[in-house]
Every structure is written in structure tokens, then in C-alpha cells.
């Protein structure tokens, strides 16, 4: 059995606010409960919901720790009651409700996935939050099919880079928006057929030049606000708009619902964190069956923009909020 220390280092928020409220602290190593495993964390992915939680806008679900962090990779060092699908010593990546910014974290055994062959633990830490989110929203809710066209906003982000790769590898045509020429080149390298610099062009007009009257079949949007009516303008007959976040407002005045009726559009969206373990486990099984082989074949791979030590979490959050990254930002545990 591995030697488990009594205490660990973790990140805490000293109140709500900017990155300055992030502190490194010592805490007791948690003990796994029924259905849980204890993971010695090698790396944890940084996600925008972590920044929202820091600001007080996205609290952890009831029963979850206040320690931030939604995805981890590492080695299982202890098993809770009833866990028989994982042995101690297994290397896994896991979606967690909270607690990833720590040397040890609890994970539901059902939400652990094997580290894909050919990936390091640091790369594997980039998978769960983005891949669960993209697969469920683009392919389950958005029903994207081979040969259809997907418009991805924020293509250089962790979510965007995942969506581009998965959609392209599964036979869809991908158009994306990004905020610089360099980010557009990055998106094209991932498999997007066209990348639109939204700072230099109106993405509605640019997509229309590419697609004409056909429009796009699915839009994956994290912006909201003024993007909502513009996305609807671009949707094809039976098109689907999938909303997963709001960098702008979730509200918009004078919304015209008529195009939704006339073109039989679907407006949908979701959040991942509040769902039950059983609901998330269903996504995990689909990923293992349909996506993990693509990763192991080299067709899809997480792209890491920057790595920070755990004690540098404030720098990681500053980079995330500046939207500087192309791909993922990762915390490395001491």
C-alpha cells in the first residue's frame, strides 16, 4: 500500500474576488467514502468555472469541498467502500465536483477514466472537464452528424480546441471564431476548415460568405448576450444552438422567436457540475467507447498552453481571465 501523508498542500480562496484571494494552505488528506477513490494528484486542469467560483458566482454543489478544481489526473492510492472497478496504483483522470487544486483529491470511482495510451498524466489532466462538456453538448444535445457544419465560438480555448478536434475527427466541417490571427492559425491546425478573427470581421457575414443560404447545423456558444440573435441568423433549417456559458449576459431584450418556429430550430444548453454522478457516469462511458480510441490513435490530443506550479495558481487564473491561452492551462502538484 502506498504511504499516504496526514497533510497536503491545497489552494483556498480567502474570500471572493480577484486572483489575489488565492492562497496556498495545508489541510488534512481527505478519506474516501463509499464509491469514492483517493487520487494522488499529478496535475489539475484550470477552467473558467474555477474563476467564477473564486468570484462567488459558481459555488460548489452541496456536499462538495470549497477547494477549486474540476479535473485531475494522478494515481489511485486508496479505495472507498464498494469500489471494485479500480485497483490501488491505477493511473486515472477524473471529473470531480470540486477539490482538484490539491495534492490529494476525492473522485467518484464511476467518473474516473484510464489515462489514454500515449498521454502523460499532465496531458490527461486536461481531458475530463472539456471532453465531458463537449461530447455531451455537441454530440448528445447538439446531435452533430458527420458531414454537418459546426460553428465553434472561442476556438482557441480548452473547450473550443476540444470541440474542433472531436468534430473534425468524426467527419464534421468546422468553422470557428477566435480573437487574433495567431489564434486563428492555431484553430486551423486543430482541424477547423475556416477560422474567423472576430476582432476584424463580422462573423455573421463571414459565415454567410462561406455557407451562403445553407447556414450551419450546430453552434456551440460560450458568449451569449449579443451573440444569441446573431447565432440564430446563421442556423440552417433544423439547426441547433447549444449554449454552455455566458461571457456576456444570459439575458437579451426584444428577442425574436419567429425564426425558431419558421426554421424549426432547437435552442438548448447545459451545465455539467450540478448533475448527478449517474448522469456524468453515462457521459464517461460514452467517452471511453467513442473518444478514447481517437485519442489513442493520435487523432485527438489535448493542447497545453502553459503549466504552473500549485503555488502559482494566481498566475494561472490571471492568464485564464486575460484569455491569452491557446489550449489548456495546467497546475502541476509539488
For residue 111, tell me if it sits in a domain: yes
If asked whether residues 42 and 90 sit together in one domain, one would say yes
φ/ψ of 188, rounded to 5, equals: -65, -35
Residue 36 included in any domain: yes
Instruction: Tell me the pLDDT band of 301, cut-offs 50, 70 and 90.
Output: very high
Q: Are residues 103 and 158 in the same domain?
A: no
Q: Is 105 within a domain?
A: yes
- How many domains are contained in the chain? 2
Rounded to an integer, the average pLDDT of 98-112 is 98
Looking at the domain assignment, is residue 78 inside a domain? Answer: yes
Cα–Cα dist 67/76, whole Å: 19
To which residue does cell 490513435 refer? 297
Q: Is the pTM of this model over 0.75?
A: yes
Q: What is the pLDDT of residues 190-246, one digit of tens each?
A: 999 999 999 999 999 999 999 998 999 999 999 999 999 999 999 999 999 999 999
What was the pLDDT predicted at 110?
Answer: 98
Same domain membership, residue 265 and residue 199:
yes
Q: How many CB atoms lie within 10 A of CB 8?
A: 20
Boundary of a domain, candidates 221, 237, 269: 269
Q: How far is CA 136 from CA 64, 157, 220, 279, in A?
A: 23, 17, 12, 11
Query: Among residues 269, 295, 311, which one ends one of the domains?
Result: 269
For 244-255, what is each residue's pLDDT tens digit?
A: 999 888 888 788
What are 84's three cell numbers?
Answer: 471494485
| Chain-centre distance for alpha carbon 76 | 23
Instruction: Give 305 or 213, the one with higher predicted confidence.
Output: 305
Percent of the chain topping pLDDT 70:
100
Q: How many CB atoms lie within 10 A of CB 324?
A: 15
CA distance 114 to 117: 9
Crossing angle for the helix pair 203-211 and 227-234, to the nearest 10 degrees: 10
CATH code of residue 291: 3.90.180.10
pLDDT at 249: 84
Decide if 2 is inside a domain.
no
Both 121 and 141 in one domain: the answer is no
Stretch 111-140: mean pLDDT, rounded? 98
pLDDT at 54 over 70: yes
Say yes or no to pLDDT of 1 above 70.
no
Percent of the chain whose predicted confidence (pLDDT) is above 90: 94
132: cell is: 465531458
Report how far apart, in Å, the C-alpha atoms of 73 and of each of 8, 88, 116 are: 16, 14, 11
Q: Which domain holds residue 31?
A: 7-127+273-332
Residues 101 and 163 in one domain: no
Mean pLDDT of the chain: 96
Q: All 3 cell numbers of residue 310?
A: 500549485
Q: Give the domain CATH number at 226.
A: 3.40.50.720
In a domain, 177, yes or no: yes
Same domain, 157 and 42: no
pLDDT at 328 over 80: yes
Q: Do 110 and 42 fall into the same domain?
A: yes
> Exposed e or buried b for every residue in 273-293, given b needs 16+ CB within 10 A?
bebebeebbebbeebeeebbe
245 with 306, same domain: the answer is no
Is 1 a domain residue? no
Q: Identify the band that residue 332 occupies on the pLDDT scale cut at 50, 70 and 90.
A: very high
In this structure, what C-alpha cell is assigned to residue 327?
489550449
How many CA atoms within 13 Å lie on the side-chain side of 127?
A: 29
Q: Are 164 and 265 in a shared domain?
A: yes
CA 99, CA 8: separation in Å to the nearest integer? Answer: 12
- Provide the pLDDT for residue 53: 96
Q: Are residue 238 and residue 152 in the same domain, yes or no?
A: yes
Give, as one character, the DSSP assignment of residue 103: S
141 lies in the same domain as 42: no
Question: 269, 301, 317 — which closes off a domain?
Answer: 269
Please tell me the predicted confidence (pLDDT) of residue 313.
98
Residues recorded for the chain? 334
Q: 138 lies in a domain? A: yes
Query: What is the rounded CA–CA span in Å between residue 89 and residue 78?
Result: 9
Q: Are residues 102 and 203 in the same domain?
A: no
Amino acid at each position: 500500500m502506498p504511504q499516504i501523508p496526514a497533510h497536503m498542500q491545497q489552494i483556498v480562496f480567502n474570500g471572493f474576488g480577484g486572483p489575489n484571494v488565492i492562497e496556498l494552505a495545508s489541510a488534512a488528506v481527505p478519506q474516501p467514502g463509499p464509491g469514492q477513490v483517493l487520487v494522488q494528484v499529478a496535475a489539475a486542469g484550470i477552467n473558467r468555472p474555477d474563476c467564477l467560483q473564486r468570484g462567488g458566482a459558481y459555488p460548489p454543489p452541496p456536499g462538495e469541498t470549497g477547494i477549486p478544481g474540476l479535473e485531475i489526473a494522478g494515481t489511485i492510492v486508496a479505495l472507498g467502500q464498494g469500489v471494485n472497478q479500480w485497483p490501488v496504483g491505477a493511473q486515472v483522470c477524473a471529473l470531480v465536483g470540486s477539490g482538484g487544486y490539491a495534492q490529494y483529491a476525492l473522485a467518484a470511482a464511476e467518473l474516473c477514466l484510464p489515462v489514454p495510451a500515449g498521454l502523460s498524466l499532465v496531458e490527461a489532466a486536461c481531458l475530463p472537464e472539456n471532453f465531458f462538456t463537449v461530447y455531451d453538448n455537441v454530440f448528445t444535445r447538439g446531435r452533430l452528424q458527420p458531414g454537418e457544419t459546426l460553428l465553434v465560438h472561442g476556438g482557441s480555448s480548452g473547450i473550443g480546441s476540444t470541440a474542433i478536434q472531436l468534430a473534425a475527427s468524426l467527419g464534421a466541417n468546422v468553422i470557428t471564431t477566435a480573437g487574433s490571427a495567431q489564434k486563428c492559425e492555431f484553430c486551423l491546425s486543430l482541424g477547423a476548415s475556416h477560422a474567423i478573427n472576430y476582432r476584424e470581421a463580422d462573423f455573421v457575414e463571414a459565415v454567410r460568405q462561406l455557407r451562403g443560404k445553407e447556414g450551419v447545423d450546430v453552434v456551440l456558444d460560450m458568449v451569449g448576450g449579443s451573440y444569441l440573435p446573431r447565432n440564430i441568423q446563421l442556423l440552417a433549417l433544423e439547426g441547433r444552438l447549444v449554449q454552455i456559458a455566458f461571457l456576456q449576459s444570459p439575458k437579451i431584450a426584444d428577442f425574436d422567436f419567429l425564426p425558431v418556429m419558421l426554421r424549426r430550430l432547437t435552442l438548448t444548453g447545459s451545465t455539467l457540475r450540478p448533475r448527478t454522478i449517474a448522469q456524468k457516469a453515462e457521459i464517461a462511458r460514452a467517452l471511453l467507447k467513442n473518444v478514447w480510441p481517437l485519442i489513442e490513435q493520435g487523432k485527438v490530443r489535448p493542447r497545453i498552453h502553459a503549466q504552473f506550479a500549485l503555488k502559482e495558481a494566481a498566475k494561472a487564473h490571471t492568464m485564464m481571465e486575460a484569455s491569452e491561452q491557446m489550449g489548456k492551462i495546467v497546475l502541476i502538484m509539488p
